[in-house]
Structure 1
Amino acid sequence: MKKGFSDIFETDSVIKTLVLCVLTIGSYLIYKLYRFTSQINQHTELKVSNLFITTTIILFVISLGSLIYGLANYNDLTILKSSIGIHAISSAFDITWIVMVRNRINLIAGSNKDDNLWLNPFITSIFHVIYMQYKINQGLAKKEI
């Protein structure tokens, strides 16, 4: 089961990940989660359901679209208020996906609490894929030594 990071993940710039997450209003976060999930699904038995992934992406797109539309029409607060429900549902799916990927990366790394490669849940909840990429880069660098 334990394959190692080099068999699954690739090194990528943490700064690039941060900048793209900000510039794309979170869309790059979804892309990186999708990439991590695809890499996990292709190389391990720790599959994440394609139905779950598709549902989460669709909810994210609808939520982001309604939020942008609501902000563009900020004079009409009913539009913005009506998008809160879909945003809450979308956020719940996003958080669930982040936790699923985090747990799988910890299993792949064979990490436990206080290990160097262990993805801390609090830090992961704040920095998401940026922190995941940082830890993946650490794991890949560790294998090269």
Structure 2
Amino acid sequence: MSDGTVRKFKTDQSTQSSRRPPLYLLDDQSEKKIRAASGANKARERHYKRQIAHRRITIAVIGLVLFFIFSFNLVNSTMRFFSANAQLTTVNDHLAKVKKDNHDLHQNLNNLKDPDYLTKVLREKYQYSKNNEIIFKFGNSDNQ
């Protein structure tokens, strides 16, 4: 007989969703206490579910806020990187131009040490002449 009760309890337990024993196995007074407490249990369960939902929402909101903060920082630093990269490119181009101008000026300085080149520049650019020499200009020239 005890085997039948145990078997019945096991089959009832497997069909029930909770792990509690069925109420018909308890005495009447315990059954009444359980049924009277079921309203409070349901209220407690609703409160527990609300708390879990509230925690989940709080965690999701905090996660979204952190996501947006990190995304903003990432976008901001990327924009600063590309701006600095563009500025570096501009500065490198300007440096190359200045180096070329510096090289040309050094070349010109070295050429001015040569007396033949100096004479040529003075005669063409500044229109100096030798003694008893007359300079004639024909048309427009670029070296005026």
* TM-score interval, smaller chain: under 0.3
Q: Which has the higher contact order (CA 8 A, sep 6+)?
A: 1
Relative to the length of structure 2, the TM-score reads 0.27
Larger CA Rg, structure 1 vs 2: 2
Relative to the length of structure 1, the TM-score reads 0.27
